[in-house]
A = this chain, B = another copy of it.
């Protein structure tokens, strides 16, 4: 392999400071237009899209891992920074795993929303795990377009990337969208789960394209947007007061999948 391996021991090394900035600071990620993929599987999913990595950061121990070796064997001409164990542990954003990160250029947003195709719209979803899980679930359900309000967790942050398990790479994602002006322009039906709604999810005809609107974990969907949506209820025989938003989303999206199976 023709990769350059560079050992780094110092906390104040510029490459380490760059990595730390990308891991920890949303503003720095934005300014650099770069982000970090953590873990072998996420990096593999990214490489499968044909895009390239800027640099790898890992530990000496990770270099001995067979999956890491196979990953690096495919590549050439890239710097591989080998960090001390303590330096790596201090920077990592996720739990234990194989210690490898890849720095990539943040993928650009696609040009235009296709208003005739299914969409998942996220309003102020704050938990990175929920957002990533919803992306992963939408990708599995065959929804290609994701629209996010400004208050929604950053799609390309390390935590949302991890929860998305590579879903980001196959989706058309629009961030920082002013939903208040966009949603009223939709001609597709817009559905929003709501505990007050009378209409059951299972009464809907979901064979045609539609828009799914999911709201903030605590507040739900704002009144403004609810005006432009059909409130729907997920029947709960156990009588719980609410479902986790990623769970509610999955139940809706897969009822759509079920209805569209021939």
Contacts and interface: CB of A to CB of B under 8 A. Distances in A.
A55 to B, nearest CB: 27
Interface of A: 129, 133, 136-143, 163, 165, 167, 170, 200, 202, 234-240, 242-244, 246-247, 250-251, 254-255, 257-258, 260-261
Contacts of A257: 235-237
Contacts of A258: 202, 235, 255
5 contacts: A133-B247, A141-B238, A200-B261, A235-B257, A254-B255
A243 B137 contact: yes
A250 B246 CA distance: 10
A138 B257 CA distance: 21
B133 A244 contact: yes
Contacts of A244: 133, 136-137, 163, 165, 246
A141 B247 contact: no
Nearest to A139: B238
A141 B250 contact: no
A54 B182 CA distance: 51
Nearest to A237: B142
B251 A235 contact: no
A140 B236 contact: yes
A244 B129 CA distance: 11
A248 B176 CA distance: 29
Given A247-B246, A247-B247, A250-B251, A236 B141 contact: yes
Contacts of A242: 165
A62 to B, nearest CB: 17
For the complex of A and B, the 8 pairs showing the least CB-CB separation, nearest first, are A142-B237, A140-B240, A142-B238, A140-B236, A251-B254, A247-B250, A139-B238, A140-B238
